[in-house]
Amino acid sequence: MRLEMAIPLWLWRTGAFIISVLLGLLVSSLVLVISNTPIYATYRAIYTGSLGSLDALQGSLVYAEPIAFTGLAAAIAFRAQVWNIGGEGQMAIGAFGAALIALNTNLPDPYMLLAVVVCGAFCAGFWGLLPAALKVWLGVNEVLSTLMLNYVAILWIQFLVFGPWRDPSGGWPYSSYFPTQADLPPIAGSLDIGVIAAPCLAIMLAFLLRFTRWGFEVSVVGHSHASARYAAISVSRVVIQVMVCSGAVAGLAGIQQVCGTAGRLYVLTPGYGYLGILVSWLAGHNPVLVLVMAVFYGILLQGGSALRIAQIEPSLVSVIQAAVILFALAGLTLAARYRPRQVSNMKARQ
Amino acid sequence: MELPGKDEIVLRSITKRFGEIVANDRVDLTIKRGQILALLGENGAGKSTLMNILSGVYTPDSGTIDFEGERVRFRSPWDAVRRGIGMVHQHFQLVEPFSVLENVVLAATETSLLIQKRAAAARIETVGRAHGLQVDPRALVWQLTVGERQKVEILKLLYRGAELLLLDEPTSMLTPSEAGELYKALRRLADVGKYVVLITHKLHEVVAAADRVTVLRQGRVVANLARSELVSADLGALMVGSALPQEGHRQAVESSEQAVALRVEEAHVDGYRGAAGLKGASLEIQHREILGIAGVAGNGQVELAECIVGLRRLRRGRLWLDGSEITRTDSLARIRAGLRFVPEDRLGMGLIGQLDTIDNIMLRDYREKPFRNGLLLNRRVARERAKKIVEEYDVRAPSVETPVRSLSGGNQQKILIGRELLPEPRVLVVAQPTRGLDIAATRFVHDRLFALRDSGAAVLLLSEDLDEVLHLSDRVAVLYDGQVRGVWRRKEADRSKIGAVMGGHFLDAA
Amino acid sequence: MTNMLVINLLTASVAAATPLLLAALGELVVERSGVLNLGVEGLMLMGAMTAVATTIATANVALGIISGMAVGAALGLIFAFLTVTIRADHVVTGLAMVLFGDGLSRFAGHGLVGVDVHQTVPPVLVPVLANIPVIGPVLFQQNILVYLSYFAVAAVWFFLYRMRAGLALRAAGEKPSATDVAGWNVFRIRYFAVMFGAAMAGLAGAFLSVGYLNTWADGMTAGRGWVALALVIFAGWHPIKLLGGAYLFGAAYMLIVQSQVLGGAFQFVSGYIMQMFPYVLAIVVLALMGRRSIRRRSGAPAALAVPYFREER
């Protein structure tokens, strides 16, 4: 089915997304009605709590930061049609790498921070290399392998913070505090430098993907392996490079959480890795849009915690999130399949 | 004397259109019980469409089907199956990790809830023995040879009581001895009283196996012959038609440069999707020459093109480009040495549909100046090049930023050819250049190829359209079953001779 | 004394393994049909919450369990609609389902947190079998849902390998085009598979909440849904191996909990490292399967997570 209207594709997609969000909100409102929760008060609380004040905005951005990184990580991989579900684990290993340097050395400023970030990214990149190697040499499905590696990574962190790296002064399960040189410099209130780093990274990625030779190769591999071979591009090489980068960027999310918000190693809040994948998918794997979606998510999450204050059940926000995503999934998939065309293209079949 | 209508399946005046193409044009076909009918034709002759109508996949726009005296209409494949019609497709529909038994039971029409292994195995063995198609029911399909897998496909049909068996190019992936086995099996099936229809483009097959043959060309029946009337040379001509008046072929200018541009020696390549591949193909092209390779699809065209340009590995054999051996060099080196390629898979390989013209122009040359700017891409230059091609080749597109999948086939092909011709190649391999194009676009492409030849390059043309091959080529060869058979100079090229060789009937090469 | 300890450990392992077994068994069927449902965790949570809610409301545990399954099946219907009919991406839809199940269960269940469920599933002694030394108490003094899980393994095995419909389901996961040509409705097969799998996940959650821990708490499945996914791979998509794998994982869970009590060798290896073992093994299994030049026997279903488009046949 092809529509003969002249609607530009971006408008079609955006329209589909907006309609999906509205439908999601509609369904969520039904849930509210059924549970006797006041609709207006709820939405108002979410709004005020996430956007209503500077503090609220800050809170939203704090939530958005790690999601932005994992979202960008997912975007890199999915652009090449590599299904990296391992953001969760790569994030954890990134945190581990950061802690490795922070807890075991005493470098001065600014080398400490540099070393921490480099080590974290390197370790996380390695965690992305493993499933890539398995895929390229043994044909292992990366969805399954990255999923498994997530658990290994999370368990490794748990092992460390409950065991050898546990803070001796009691409060478990955390490691000792990192030396202050390893903390991310703050920007305003509770926001750290990550808030600037993420957009910079997004712009860099967008540039990389659009204007460099490597970015072109990633795009070609993502669209068609046959065309890639035709263009003499090694699909294996690109897959490995992409996974290493993706892992490293996801690692930044982990580094940000242990060096920024917490200041020590702990078992990271589960879910940011998977949220990153969803966010990237909604953004069509476009780095700049990923930022937008991550902020959108940050607002939802912040709104959720604000509900507690308003004496409304905070998990409602998860329901809204999920309803929106499910509708967006259906809407965007359908929009992609039944897109409007400029020229009718009839192929005769023999 | 047979009762009229009984023991016969009669198709009358079947017509089927797809858009503007008439795939079947008032086709009459009579299939008699106990006889093997061969349906002969080239690609696009309408054989597959006709068979899809018989097996219920398509409904005809007009015409009737009488099954043993009874008017029938199939609304779905299941209707046809219930009538006892079964088709063995060219690409097998078997589940490889399963056993023969499991595949047969999967397709069976029984309604039992349980798999009755022993009963089914016994029945498979019985049916197999009765028709000379023995296969071990417990064997796993992935372990079977192609010939054995085909037996399983036929067994599937017989197991569920098929009376009419349609076989689509059944020997395309078989060895000659396996093919011989198949003919014997088909003979046994006919003798037992089944209806057998064999779809093929191979002339010797018709001679070897068929009791009667119906020849299709461009959707119409052009001949209906009984075994006694078969003379193969005539068949070739019937299949490809008599010579059409040709527009001016541009004669190559005789030049002193007679160096060999491309040489292939005894190339052996594994087949595509289990097909035959190349079995010792050899050819030579000189500069300022177009060598046209005719042949029905599936005889090794894709494999030949891909191994020359480096996308497919040679099992055996050697290649030379301008005198230097390129057998071991990778595809990038070959591109850089001046060997360009227009693949037959336009949107699957040659172009990326979701990307625009600019990106597609850069597809193969993004590493070279001027597209390259250090680590970056120079999109500005690419845009200029794209605009140049659009202008020069008269590509109708809303803009250079439109994704190419929105363009018509003709325009896509222009972009593809424009891109490959831009770096002034020494040798161009081009496959199915005008497939799906209208007359104007076709003429345009042909002009470009002539111009390329005149500028000193060598062109290897692979085309299923014999008219095109004859129009463009300075020399003509035929690819049949993985080997290059028969090479003719333009003056000696004779349609019926070539048609015969395309059908596998080899004469002494001219 | 140690004997008693081992028997108690094994008994507890069986109970701990059962939710894993039930969820993994369901997911096995789903994946065999060619669909990848990563949403098991969310489905289990919804099943758990619904079971508790219904049990408290109706004071009937059986109804609670059935409602858990029903909710699972309903969510499965949504998932099937998205992946099979709309042909949305399996992975993203699965992740969205986890989010949905987690969120909705938290929201709808917040009034139930910590509430004691008085109606529980009582242990049932199987008359003769329970007296077999060692095995008796371990396997046959469990509650009825555990027995159901034994039955379920056998039933799934029988269905997949002895019934025509099961054959068709497996074929749909390997080569949907051949299954279509053979006359089966691939879409209907996948719908049923997905709903079955989701119902099983709901059942697993229900067992967890009203048959085992007797309470509801946010996120109480604690990753068991993800473990179930690993289990399916680890078992090479085969129900009998799944049984073994599930008990192995269950024992691992128990060892972690009991490692202090047991002492000895278990003191040295951290429980967390031990828990890694099954996941690493699953990866090894995947790598080995990939290695076989023809990974036909215990490989992933060839058409896993690929939406079926009839036109492309």
Look at residue B38 and tell me whether its pLDDT is greater than 60.
Answer: yes
Share of chain B above pLDDT 70, in %: 92
On whether both B364 and B495 belong to a single domain, the answer is no
Give me the sign of the Cα torsion angle B144, B150, B154, B160: positive
Over the stretch B128-153, which tens digit does the pLDDT of each residue have? Answer: 888 888 889 999 988 888 888 899 99
Map tokens 């004469």 to a residue.
B507
Contact A134 C88 (CB under 8 A): no
Give me the residues paired with residue B114 across strands. C163
Nearest CA-CA distance, residue C1 and chain A, Å: 30
pLDDT score at C269: 66
Nearest CA-CA distance, residue C144 and chain A, Å: 31
Share of chain A above pLDDT 90, in %: 41
At B72, which helix (H) or strand (E)? strand B70-72
Residue A41 placed within a domain: no
Map tokens 């290896």 to a residue.
C269
**Where residue B258 falls among pLDDT bands split at 50, 70, 90?**
low
On whether both B372 and B443 belong to a single domain, the answer is no
Q: What mean pLDDT is predicted for residues A268-279?
A: 90
pTM, rounded to two decimals: 0.84
Chain A interface mutation, best of C98, C253, C283, C313, highest count of A Cβ atoms under 10 Å: C283
Look at residue C117 and tell me whether its pLDDT is greater than 50.
Answer: yes
Residue C311 placed within a domain: no
pLDDT score at C272: 78
Query: Please, which residues 295-334 of chain A have a Cβ atom closer than 8 Å to chain C?
Result: 313, 315-323, 325-326, 329-330, 333-334
On whether both B217 and B334 belong to a single domain, the answer is no
Beta strands in B344-426 (DSSP E): 372-373, 376-377
Over the stretch B86-101, which tens digit does the pLDDT of each residue have? Answer: 989 877 889 988 999 9
Residue A68 placed within a domain: yes
Nearest CA-CA distance, residue B417 and chain A, Å: 14
Q: Is C249 helix (H, G, I), strand (E, B) or coil?
A: helix
**Where residue C313 falls among pLDDT bands split at 50, 70, 90?**
very low
Nearest CA-CA distance, residue C286 and chain B, Å: 17
B281, B304 Cβ separation under 8 angstroms: yes
Residue A3 placed within a domain: no
Name the range with the highest mean pLDDT among A219-223, B57-61, B273-277, C262-266.
A219-223
What is the C-alpha to C-alpha distance for residues B26 and B321, in angstroms, rounded to an integer? Answer: 49
Q: Could you tell me the residue range of the domain that residue C98 belongs to?
A: 2-298
pLDDT score at C259: 64
What is the C-alpha to C-alpha distance for residues B159 and B133, in angstroms, rounded to an integer? Answer: 12
Dihedrals phi, psi of B71, to nearest 5 degrees: -70, 130
Cβ neighbors of B455 (< 8 A, separation 6 or more) are B424
Residue C274 placed within a domain: yes
Split into its structural domains, chain A has a count of: 1
Chain A interface mutation, best of B47, B52, B361, B363, highest count of A Cβ atoms under 10 Å: B363
Contact B311 A341 (CB under 8 A): no
What is the C-alpha to C-alpha distance for residues B110 and B124, in angstroms, rounded to an integer? Answer: 14
Q: What mean pLDDT is predicted for residues B409-427?
A: 89
pLDDT score at A191: 79
Contact C179 B112 (CB under 8 A): no
Last residue of some domain: B212, B231, B250? B231
Look at residue A52 and tell me whether its pLDDT is greater than 50.
Answer: yes
Q: Is B265 helix (H, G, I), strand (E, B) or coil?
A: strand
Look at residue B256 and tell me whether its pLDDT is greater than 70.
Answer: no
Dihedrals phi, psi of B31, to nearest 5 degrees: -110, 125
Name the range with the highest mean pLDDT among B40-49, B149-158, B297-306.
B149-158
What is the C-alpha to C-alpha distance for residues A184 and C16, in angstroms, rounded to an integer? Answer: 42
On whether both B325 and B213 belong to a single domain, the answer is no
A165 has a chain C CB within 8 A of its CB: no
Residue A330 placed within a domain: no
Neighbours of B221 (CB within 10 A): 21
C49, C107 Cβ separation under 8 angstroms: no
Question: What chains are in contact with C, requiring at least 3 Cβ pairs below 8 Å?
Answer: A, B
Name the range with the highest mean pLDDT among B239-253, B348-362, B367-381.
B348-362
On whether both B329 and B450 belong to a single domain, the answer is yes
Contact A318 C96 (CB under 8 A): no
Over the stretch B157-188, which tens digit does the pLDDT of each residue have? Answer: 999 888 999 998 888 777 777 888 899 999 99
Q: What mean pLDDT is predicted for residues A7-30?
A: 83
Chain B interface mutation, best of A10, A212, A213, highest count of B Cβ atoms under 10 Å: A213
CA nearest to A83 within chain C: C91
Q: Show the CA angle centred on residue B103, arms to residues B101 and B108, nearest 5°.
A: 90
* SS (HEC) of B140-195: EHHHCCHHHHHHHHHHHHHHCCCCEEEEECCCCCCCHHHHHHHHHHHHHHHHHCCE
pLDDT score at C39: 94
- The encoded tokens of residue A304 equal 């959720």
**Where residue A107 falls among pLDDT bands split at 50, 70, 90?**
confident
On whether both B489 and B358 belong to a single domain, the answer is no
Which residues in chain B are closer than 8 Å to A348, comparing Cβ atoms?
Answer: 18-21, 23, 436
Q: What mean pLDDT is predicted for residues A268-286?
A: 90
DSSP state of B211: S
Share of chain C above pLDDT 90, in %: 37
Chain A interface mutation, best of C286, C291, C295, C313, highest count of A Cβ atoms under 10 Å: C286
Residue A8 placed within a domain: no
On whether both B197 and B93 belong to a single domain, the answer is yes
A49, A55 Cβ separation under 8 angstroms: no
Question: What chains are in contact with B, requiring at least 3 Cβ pairs below 8 Å?
Answer: A, C
Q: How deeply is C7 buried, as exposed, middle or buried, from its count of CB atoms within 10 A (0-12, 13-18, 19+)?
A: middle
pLDDT score at A345: 36
| DSSP H helices in chain C | 2-32, 40-58, 61-80, 90-109, 135-140, 144-162, 164-174, 176-181, 186-206, 224-234, 239-262, 271-291
Q: What mean pLDDT is predicted for residues C106-126?
A: 76
Q: Is B197 helix (H, G, I), strand (E, B) or coil?
A: strand
Look at residue B221 and tell me whether its pLDDT is greater than 60.
Answer: yes
**Where residue B506 falls among pLDDT bands split at 50, 70, 90?**
low
Q: What mean pLDDT is predicted for residues C120-124?
A: 73
Split into its structural domains, chain C has a count of: 1
Average pLDDT, chain B: 85
What angle in degrees, to the nearest 10, is found between the helix axes of A316-337 and A287-309? 150
B471, B300 Cβ separation under 8 angstroms: no
Which residues in chain B are closer than 8 Å to A223, comparing Cβ atoms?
Answer: 352-355
Cβ neighbors of B169 (< 8 A, separation 6 or more) are B90, B199, B200, B201, B298
**Where residue A5 falls among pLDDT bands split at 50, 70, 90?**
low
Residue A10 placed within a domain: no
Between B144 and B237, the more confident residue is B144
Q: What mean pLDDT is predicted for residues C80-89?
A: 92
- The encoded tokens of residue A271 equal 């879910």
- The encoded tokens of residue C186 equal 């691939």
Beta strands in B270-349 (DSSP E): 278-286, 289-294, 316-321, 324-325, 339-342
Last residue of some domain: B399, B424, B449? B424
pLDDT score at B272: 63
Please enumerate residues of B whose Cβ is less than 8 A from a Cβ of C.
77-78, 81, 89, 93-98, 102-103, 105-107, 109-110, 112-115, 140, 142
Residue B242 placed within a domain: no
Nearest to B435 by CA among B502, B349, B510, B345: B345
Contact B311 A343 (CB under 8 A): no
pLDDT score at B501: 81
CATH number at residue C238: 1.10.3470
Q: Could you tell me the residue range of the domain that residue B439 belongs to?
A: 258-338+425-510
Nearest CA-CA distance, residue A342 and chain B, Å: 7
pLDDT score at A292: 92
Q: How deeply is A318 buried, as exposed, middle or buried, from its count of CB atoms within 10 A (0-12, 13-18, 19+)?
A: buried
C280 has a chain A CB within 8 A of its CB: yes
Residue C304 placed within a domain: no
Q: What mean pLDDT is predicted for residues A207-216?
A: 92
At A75, which helix (H) or strand (E)? helix A54-79
Which residues in chain A are closer than 8 Å to B381, comparing Cβ atoms?
Answer: none
Look at residue C264 and tell me whether its pLDDT is greater than 60.
Answer: no
Count of pairs with CB atoms under 8 A, one residue in A, one in B: 89
ipTM score:
0.84
What is the C-alpha to C-alpha distance for residues A147 and C101, in angstroms, rounded to an integer? Answer: 19
CATH number at residue B201: 3.40.50.300
C10 has a chain A CB within 8 A of its CB: no
Find the length of chain A.
Answer: 350
Last residue of some domain: B377, B399, B424? B424
Nearest to C93 by CA among A344, A330, B474, B126: A330
CA nearest to A164 within chain C: C270
On whether both B273 and B418 belong to a single domain, the answer is no
Query: Please, which residues 56-115 of chain A have a Cβ atom closer than 8 Å to chain C?
Result: 83, 85
Average pLDDT, chain C: 84
Q: Could you tell me the residue range of the domain that residue A195 belongs to?
A: 62-297
Please enumerate residues of C whose Cβ is less than 8 A from a Cβ of B.
162-165, 167-168, 170-171, 174-175, 177-179, 181-184, 294, 296-297, 299, 302
- The encoded tokens of residue A134 equal 């398995």
Task: State which amino acid sits at residue A101.
Answer: I
What is the C-alpha to C-alpha distance for residues B301 and C46, in angstroms, rounded to an integer? Answer: 57
Split into its structural domains, chain B has a count of: 3
Look at residue B312 and tell me whether its pLDDT is greater than 50.
Answer: yes
Between B179 and C47, the more confident residue is C47
Residue B297 placed within a domain: yes
Q: Is B264 helix (H, G, I), strand (E, B) or coil?
A: strand
On whether both B330 and B465 belong to a single domain, the answer is yes
Residue B6 placed within a domain: no
pLDDT score at C279: 83
pLDDT score at A342: 47
Give me the sign of the Cα torsion angle A42, A45, A49, A50: positive
Over the stretch A291-312, which tens digit does the pLDDT of each residue have? Answer: 999 998 898 888 877 877 777 7
Q: What mean pLDDT is predicted for residues A127-142?
A: 91
Residue C312 placed within a domain: no
On whether both B266 and B414 belong to a single domain, the answer is no
Cα distance between the two ends of chain B: 48
pLDDT score at B255: 57
Nearest to B487 by CA among B324, B336, B289: B289
DSSP state of B271: P
Nearest CA-CA distance, residue C288 and chain A, Å: 8
C277 has a chain A CB within 8 A of its CB: no
A54 has a chain B CB within 8 A of its CB: no
Q: Show the CA angle centred on residue A248, arms to residues A242 and A249, nearest 5°.
A: 90
Map tokens 């967390």 to a residue.
C272
Share of chain C above pLDDT 70, in %: 88
**Where residue C312 falls among pLDDT bands split at 50, 70, 90?**
very low
Look at residue B234 and tell me whether its pLDDT is greater than 80.
Answer: no
A225, A238 Cβ separation under 8 angstroms: no
Q: What mean pLDDT is predicted for residues B191-210?
A: 86
Q: What mean pLDDT is predicted for residues C255-260?
A: 66
Beta strands in A112-230 (DSSP E): 174-177, 186-188, 191-192
Q: What mean pLDDT is predicted for residues B313-323?
A: 89
Q: Show the CA angle centred on residue C243, arms to residues C240 and C249, nearest 5°.
A: 145
